[in-house]
Amino acid sequence: MAGYTNTPPGTPTILGTTGTVSFSKGVPGSSGVANDTILNGLKIAQNGTAVTVTLVGFRDHTGSAASYVFTGSTTSDTWWPLGWINSAGGLTATASVASKAIVETIPSTLVP
Protein backbone atom coordinates (compact mmCIF):
# COMPACT_ATOMS: atom_id res chain seq x y z
CA MET A 1 0.00 0.00 0.00
CA ALA A 2 1.37 3.42 -0.92
CA GLY A 3 2.84 5.30 2.02
CA TYR A 4 3.49 2.20 4.12
CA THR A 5 7.02 0.95 3.74
CA ASN A 6 7.71 -0.52 7.19
CA THR A 7 4.43 -0.47 9.12
CA PRO A 8 1.30 -2.27 7.94
CA PRO A 9 -1.96 -0.37 7.62
CA GLY A 10 -3.89 -0.24 10.86
CA THR A 11 -7.47 -0.32 11.98
CA PRO A 12 -9.25 3.04 11.72
CA THR A 13 -11.48 4.08 14.61
CA ILE A 14 -13.77 7.08 14.31
CA LEU A 15 -13.89 8.92 17.62
CA GLY A 16 -17.70 9.15 17.61
CA THR A 17 -17.87 10.73 21.06
CA THR A 18 -16.31 13.54 23.03
CA GLY A 19 -15.69 11.02 25.80
CA THR A 20 -12.42 9.18 26.25
CA VAL A 21 -11.86 6.12 24.04
CA SER A 22 -9.44 3.50 25.40
CA PHE A 23 -7.42 1.06 23.29
CA SER A 24 -6.04 -2.36 24.15
CA LYS A 25 -3.73 -4.11 21.66
CA GLY A 26 -4.88 -1.67 18.98
CA VAL A 27 -8.59 -2.32 19.53
CA PRO A 28 -10.94 0.28 21.03
CA GLY A 29 -13.22 -0.47 23.93
CA SER A 30 -11.09 -1.70 26.81
CA SER A 31 -8.19 -0.35 28.82
CA GLY A 32 -4.75 -1.29 27.62
CA VAL A 33 -1.31 -1.32 29.13
CA ALA A 34 1.98 0.30 28.19
CA ASN A 35 3.52 -0.91 24.93
CA ASP A 36 0.42 -2.76 23.66
CA THR A 37 -0.69 -0.38 20.88
CA ILE A 38 0.97 1.48 18.03
CA LEU A 39 -0.71 4.69 16.93
CA ASN A 40 -0.15 4.55 13.20
CA GLY A 41 -1.84 7.82 12.36
CA LEU A 42 -4.39 10.46 13.21
CA LYS A 43 -6.75 12.37 10.94
CA ILE A 44 -8.80 15.37 12.00
CA ALA A 45 -11.49 16.50 9.59
CA GLN A 46 -12.00 20.13 8.64
CA ASN A 47 -14.56 21.80 10.88
CA GLY A 48 -16.02 25.28 11.49
CA THR A 49 -14.04 25.43 14.73
CA ALA A 50 -10.72 23.66 15.09
CA VAL A 51 -11.09 20.15 16.48
CA THR A 52 -8.58 18.86 19.02
CA VAL A 53 -7.63 15.31 19.94
CA THR A 54 -5.87 14.63 23.22
CA LEU A 55 -3.77 11.47 23.32
CA VAL A 56 -2.59 9.85 26.55
CA GLY A 57 -0.12 6.99 26.93
CA PHE A 58 3.17 8.57 25.89
CA ARG A 59 6.23 9.85 27.75
CA ASP A 60 7.68 13.34 27.97
CA HIS A 61 11.39 14.20 27.92
CA THR A 62 11.78 13.21 31.60
CA GLY A 63 10.20 9.79 31.09
CA SER A 64 6.99 10.78 32.88
CA ALA A 65 3.57 9.97 31.45
CA ALA A 66 2.19 12.90 29.47
CA SER A 67 -0.66 13.81 27.15
CA TYR A 68 -0.34 15.48 23.76
CA VAL A 69 -2.95 17.61 22.01
CA PHE A 70 -3.29 17.65 18.21
CA THR A 71 -5.26 20.53 16.67
CA GLY A 72 -7.04 20.30 13.32
CA SER A 73 -7.80 23.03 10.81
CA THR A 74 -10.85 25.06 9.84
CA THR A 75 -9.87 24.97 6.15
CA SER A 76 -8.73 21.40 5.37
CA ASP A 77 -8.44 17.88 6.74
CA THR A 78 -5.20 17.20 8.59
CA TRP A 79 -3.37 13.84 8.60
CA TRP A 80 -0.42 12.86 10.79
CA PRO A 81 1.37 9.57 9.98
CA LEU A 82 2.86 8.64 13.36
CA GLY A 83 4.05 5.13 14.27
CA TRP A 84 4.08 5.93 18.01
CA ILE A 85 3.96 3.24 20.71
CA ASN A 86 2.15 3.91 23.98
CA SER A 87 5.21 3.53 26.19
CA ALA A 88 3.80 5.21 29.33
CA GLY A 89 0.46 3.44 29.78
CA GLY A 90 -2.76 2.50 28.05
CA LEU A 91 -3.55 4.58 24.96
CA THR A 92 -6.59 6.84 25.19
CA ALA A 93 -7.94 9.41 22.75
CA THR A 94 -10.40 12.22 23.47
CA ALA A 95 -11.83 14.41 20.69
CA SER A 96 -13.33 17.85 21.28
CA VAL A 97 -15.98 17.23 18.59
CA ALA A 98 -17.59 13.85 17.96
CA SER A 99 -17.07 12.07 14.61
CA LYS A 100 -14.46 14.52 13.30
CA ALA A 101 -11.34 12.48 14.08
CA ILE A 102 -10.02 9.04 13.15
CA VAL A 103 -7.18 7.22 14.89
CA GLU A 104 -5.41 4.37 13.13
CA THR A 105 -3.96 1.71 15.43
CA ILE A 106 -2.23 -1.65 15.25
CA PRO A 107 -1.40 -4.07 18.05
CA SER A 108 2.18 -4.01 19.28
CA THR A 109 4.20 -7.19 19.54
CA LEU A 110 5.95 -5.93 22.70
CA VAL A 111 3.13 -7.17 24.95
CA PRO A 112 2.03 -10.83 24.58
Residue of higher predicted confidence among 3 and 92: 92
pLDDT at 2: 46
Mean per-residue pLDDT, 33-60 = 96
Domain boundaries, given as residue ranges, for the chain: 18-76
Mean pLDDT of 32-42: 95
Residue 40 reports pLDDT greater than 90: yes
Averaged pLDDT, 33-58: 96
Number of Cβ within a 10 Å radius of residue 102: 19
Residue type, position 52, single letter: T
Alpha-carbon distance of 85 to 96, in angstroms, equals: 23
- pLDDT exceeds 80 at position 111: no
Q: What is the pTM of this model?
A: 0.89
Helices and strands in the chain, H and E counts: 0, 9
